[in-house]
Structure 1
Amino acid sequence: MKHRLKTLLGAAAVIIASTLSAHAETVLKWAHVYETSEPFHTDSVWAAGEIAKRTNGRYKIDVYPASQLGKEADINQGLKLGTVDIIISGSSFAARDYKPIGVTYYPYIFRDASHLIAYTKSDIFKRLAKGYEDKTGNHIAAVTYYGTRHTTSNKPISKCADLQGVKMRVPDVPAYLAMPRACGANTTPIAFAEVYLALQNGTVDAQENPLTTIEAKKFYEVQKNIVLTGHIVDHLNTLFSKKLWTSLSDEDKKIFSDVAQEASVRSSKTIDAREKELVDEFKKKGLTVTEVDKADFLKNVVEKVKLEEFGYEKADWEAIRAIK
């Protein structure tokens, strides 16, 4: 009888413990628009697992890739509404709520990926991130290097003036349009999924994207020239919703932030390494890869496209440019 009672009490304890454990687990949604093969997804999945591990299973994070929860504008809206807890998204979207943070998209503000990473550890970054957080309540936990944007074209381009009159596909984001328009290109906002066909059938003569995207989307098949304009050093933010961030204890805030930053370092290194390999790979495929005088492009941008037009502050631009 005693043994049976002990067994029953033991079983009850297991049931109570598992019930408490089930109640203690908080399920969160992490959304982004990138493909499952990209580091932005694989490292998000890694981060979700790490957070679960470091919080002893108190948080379970489901990652939704490839626009499963909507396009970038949709998931940013979801973050505001609290229907999504964590997203990866560009600063151009953060700038819709707090314009000054979009200064990081003004052409030639960053020299390279390491300059971008140095910026994320600077006082100016902390101030801009705080401005965004004060405005929205959302928290920027990490910044990931997305890639440096370069130009592909049908004709050779070696200087800014060579873009004069060229029909060029550019995303319909003000700061992305700055360099092509300063150089006299006729910019055309074509949906990303339709760019390959537009290049193939001559609707446009040029486009701009990071080398990793040029590879993934096979733009090199329908363009002969890769021009290393390097006009925007692009990046993505890992954002926690106000609802999530304010609900976390200080201990959990540190865990979530540490993991998000570790994941961003992993992705940034993957992208940086792949870009270095691609220049040679494109040359082997028979493409002409051209270095340009970036100072020539910058001079035209500064003279013809004022950053104040976008709601950016010149002092912020100068402070970021000065980071070593």
Structure 2
Amino acid sequence: MKKSFKVLSLSLVLVLIVTALAGCGVKSPTEPSPTEPSATEPTQEQTNQEAPEITLIYAEVNPLDTIVGQTGLVFKEKVEELSGGKIKIDIAASGVLGSENDVLDTMLGGGGTIDMSRISAFALTSYGGEKSKLLSVPFTFVNREHFWNFATSDLAPEFLQEPHEKGTGIRGLFYGEEGFRHFFTVNPISGMEDLRGMKLRVSNDPIMNGMVEGLGASPTVVAFGELYSALQTGVVDGAEQPIANYKSNAFPEVAPNLILNGHTLGAIQVVITDEAWDKLTAEQQDILMEAGRYASEFNRRISEEAENKVLEELKAEGVNVVEVNDITPWQEAVKDVIASATANNAELYQKIVDMQ
């Protein structure tokens, strides 16, 4: 009888121990670990198959054979690859949808006729882009590496999101660059002093206007699509563009004098409307961001090499290319513009300057 009582007591103890352990959350050795992937978790291919199909209209003012045109093509190809063809990018190049300002007006106005665009960073200045304005201040970036230090920093996403946070209806996806911008003219020039009194084309940007005035010239607003004829007919005496754009738009035919003053690095960004962004699933939004990083890195790899190649071609074709050995007089001429443009964001601007 005692032996039976002991066995019963031991059994009760074991039951109590097992019950206590279960209450503490101890799992059976056969229970699957929560870190193990679920057999029903969808693959990327399955996610793409279930996602809605969408076509995004992408505006580009320059031809596809330019640095920015090639960057757009690489972005398009990567998006379509990663989405399994569910997202298609339709690039409307060579300004068929209008100038950068025309495109931005359309995007900000809504309606969905233009979903995306590659724009110059300074294009947002006229639309309240206080942070983007800092990227167009003359002589901010001393070289390409300096710009890419910024573009890959923690500050970059803050700048890209500025238009969205201001409620404009667009947001930035990624940065790139199209080389330093230089002046070119109809008549021969040999230095900065020759620009005095000239009518130089600008795009209605306050910083650009101030810089041209600082150089003693007259800023004249002309749409980019009308610039060739404006140079040809004498409406303007000169303009400024990155080297690759200067050649691809045939400007050497009517303005064969190029002075390499490099007043601004041509920072660019690709933007998308909030309306188009919100049509995408979270996975599709991630695809656009990943493709943007890929296209940005591509842009970084090809830009300088492509620019140097074009410059040699221009020299071989007889363009009067003027080297600038001392940039100090140029900087001195526009110092008031620099001070005025950075006054409200002096600390933020200094962070960019210090990234060199």
Range class of TM-score, shorter chain:
0.7 to 0.9
What is the DSSP-based 3-state SS (H/G/I as helix, E as strand, rest coil) of the residue aligned with 1:177?
Answer: helix
Report the alpha carbon displacement of residue 246 of structure 1 after superposing the two structures with TM: 4.1
2:119 corresponds to? 89
Aligned residues: 303
Whole-Å separation in 2 of the counterparts to 1:52 and 1:225: 41
Paired residues for 1:142-291 under 5 Å:
142-153=174-185, 154-158=187-191, 160-291=192-323
Q: Cα–Cα, structure 1 residues 225 and 40, in superposed 2: closer, same or farther, change >3 Å?
A: closer
Report the alpha carbon displacement of residue 263 of structure 1 after superposing the two structures with TM: 1.8
Whole-Å separation in 2 of the counterparts to 1:191 and 1:57: 35
2:129 corresponds to? 98
Whole-Å separation in 2 of the counterparts to 1:162 and 1:90: 27
2:104 corresponds to? 76
Deviates more, 1:61-70 or 1:181-190: 61-70
Q: Cα–Cα, structure 1 residues 194 and 89, in superposed 2: closer, same or farther, change >3 Å?
A: closer
Report the alpha carbon displacement of residue 78 of structure 1 after superposing the two structures with TM: 4.1
What is the DSSP-based 3-state SS (H/G/I as helix, E as strand, rest coil) of the residue aligned with 1:313?
Answer: helix
Largest Rg, 1 or 2? 2
Q: Does 1:126 align with 2:157?
A: yes
Equivalent residue in structure 2 for 1:115, among 142, 146, 153: 146
Q: Cα–Cα, structure 1 residues 29 and 199, in superposed 2: closer, same or farther, change >3 Å?
A: closer
RMSD between aligned residues:
2.9
Whole-Å separation in 2 of the counterparts to 1:300 and 1:200: 28
Q: Are the aligned partners of 2:134 and 2:341 in contact in 1 as well (CA < 8 Å)?
A: no
Q: Cα–Cα, structure 1 residues 62 and 311, in superposed 2: closer, same or farther, change >3 Å?
A: farther
Deviates more, 1:60-69 or 1:84-93: 60-69
Q: Are the aligned partners of 2:95 and 2:225 in contact in 1 as well (CA < 8 Å)?
A: no
Q: Are the aligned partners of 1:169 and 1:206 in contact in 2 as well (CA < 8 Å)?
A: yes
Equivalent residue in structure 1 for 2:56, among 15, 24, 28: 28
Q: TM-score, normalised by structure 2?
A: 0.74
Equivalent residue in structure 2 for 1:47, among 67, 75, 89: 75
Deviations 1:214-244 (A, max 9, x none): 2123333344532111001112211122234
Deviates more, 1:124-133 or 1:314-323: 124-133
Q: Are the aligned partners of 1:138 and 1:240 in contact in 2 as well (CA < 8 Å)?
A: yes
Q: Are the aligned partners of 1:146 and 1:268 in contact in 2 as well (CA < 8 Å)?
A: no
Deviations 1:63-122 (A, max 9, x none): 333344444334324434261332222223323143232111111111223322221112
Q: TM-score, normalised by structure 1?
A: 0.80
* Corresponding letter in the other structure for 2:334: V
Structure 1: gaps spanning 5 or more residues: 1-19
1:300 corresponds to? 333
Q: Are the aligned partners of 1:174 and 1:310 in contact in 2 as well (CA < 8 Å)?
A: no
Q: Cα–Cα, structure 1 residues 166 and 97, in superposed 2: closer, same or farther, change >3 Å?
A: closer
Q: Percent identity among equivalent residues?
A: 24
* Corresponding letter in the other structure for 2:307: E
Q: Cα–Cα, structure 1 residues 68 and 21, in superposed 2: closer, same or farther, change >3 Å?
A: farther
2:36 corresponds to? none
Report the alpha carbon displacement of residue 300 of structure 1 after superposing the two structures with TM: 1.7
2:347 corresponds to? 315
Report the alpha carbon displacement of residue 141 of structure 1 after superposing the two structures with TM: 1.2
* Corresponding letter in the other structure for 2:347: A
